[in-house]
Amino acid sequence: MDNESRLLAIISESSNKDGQSIDWEAVQQQLTVFLDEMITVDFNRVLTILYRIDVSEVKVKKALNENPDNKSVGAILAQLIVDRQKEKIKFRQQFSKE
């Protein structure tokens, strides 16, 4: 399985759960490793993945520009992906209760 497939599998797995049973820190660490690798190989593919999972371009640019801790780009993007997945789970829970 290539890096993109593994990355998408991690993202998909986290979005298919209820949010309670997910170790978000572990997910973020896995994403960071894969994203750091993919960025060096094919940055455009990373951007395509971010678009596909609906991570805001504005948030990406802002997070990359405001990097006070000098985190890796992979770590920044991983945090944005985790935040987006949490939002999706929250929205699903809100609308399933109504």
Mean pLDDT computed over every residue of the chain = 84
Give the structural domain span for 83. Answer: 3-97
CA distances from residue 10 to 16, 53, 58, 61, 65 in whole angstroms, order as listed = 10, 12, 23, 23, 26
Residue 83 pLDDT > 90, yes or no?
yes
Q: How confident is the model at residue 61 (pLDDT cuts 50, 70, 90)?
A: very high
Q: What is the pLDDT of residues 1-47, one digit of tens each?
A: 676 677 777 777 766 656 567 788 988 999 999 999 999 998 898 98
pTM: 0.82
Report the pLDDT value the prediction gives residue 14, as an integer from 0 to 100: 67
If one counts the domains in the chain, the total is 1
Q: Give the rounded percent of residues in the chain with a pLDDT score beyond 90.
A: 38
